[in-house]
Structure 1
């Protein structure tokens, strides 16, 4: 039984899984909409919401902003960080949560994997 087991393994080891999710986060930030499997989208949604909440909270204080930028640059490239602190923070000013949405698509033809679109609201 899977009691108290959080998250999905996505058929990968820890390092591969983290790299995959960091790549998905970067692609979502840059293109604002990506098509992926439903499991990856469900794993990505809470991570992206936490990142945006962190960016919004840190934008008020100078030291928090510097710290947040430093933390985000460990996982994301400079273009993603600039877009998060510039364009996306303005887009979500009036919103307190629920920054992303998952829309289900028809299964992929090759392997019938459940597909979904994850996008910013």
Structure 2
């Protein structure tokens, strides 16, 4: 049974998986547009490896450099991470990467995607700034404390008026009772009201 074995092994041995993810981290950091093209499963596994490294790079100490170098095993990737990437993501509290799905691969129909560093995609940053005007679900009118109460009261009045109109329009059926002369000795039938 595989209890508590939750991460994706990607069909590889542990050493092969670690080496592959290390190389992918270096490729992501060293690429000029900070983006690589890979499968969705590998991108999700890479996200769990590269995001803690970026967080460690925010604090530029010898200790944190050594910790990052243990995983990356690439001096140029470490210097790029600590000099450029950490400066760009300094104010971001997490979520440094983005996965953009691109469809399936022709050969084996594997789900493919881009994984990129969020702060390096200039097109997405422009769209975010243009779109973030702060939409809310509230009405645009300035509301005071009394207006919600008044709105509820008017709604209640409108419902009551509609109910009265429906009652007034509906025809009222009255039971027809024929009055026959009462005969002595017979009881008069009682009508139901």
TM-score of the aligned structures, taking structure 1 as reference length: 0.89
Shift of 1:4: 2.4
Q: Which runs of 5+ in 2 are unaligned?
A: 119-193
Shift of 1:3: 4.5
Task: Map Cα deviations across residues 33-66 of structure 1 (whole Å, 9 max, x no partner).
Answer: 000000000011121111111111x22xxxxx10
1:89 pairs, out of 86, 89, 97, with 86
Q: Structure 1 or 2: larger helix share? A: 1
1:67 pairs, out of 63, 69, 78, with 63
Separation in 1 of the partners of 2:40 and 2:2?
20
2:109 pairs, out of 101, 112, 121, with 112
Across the two proteins, how many residue pairs are aligned to each other? 115
**Bigger relative contact order (CA 8 A; separation at least 6):** 1
Q: Which runs of 5+ in 1 are unaligned?
A: 60-64
Residue aligning to 2:26: 26
Separation in 2 of the partners of 1:2 and 1:37?
24
TM-score of the aligned structures, taking structure 2 as reference length: 0.57
Moved more, 94-103 or 73-82: 73-82
CA RMSD between the two structures: 1.3
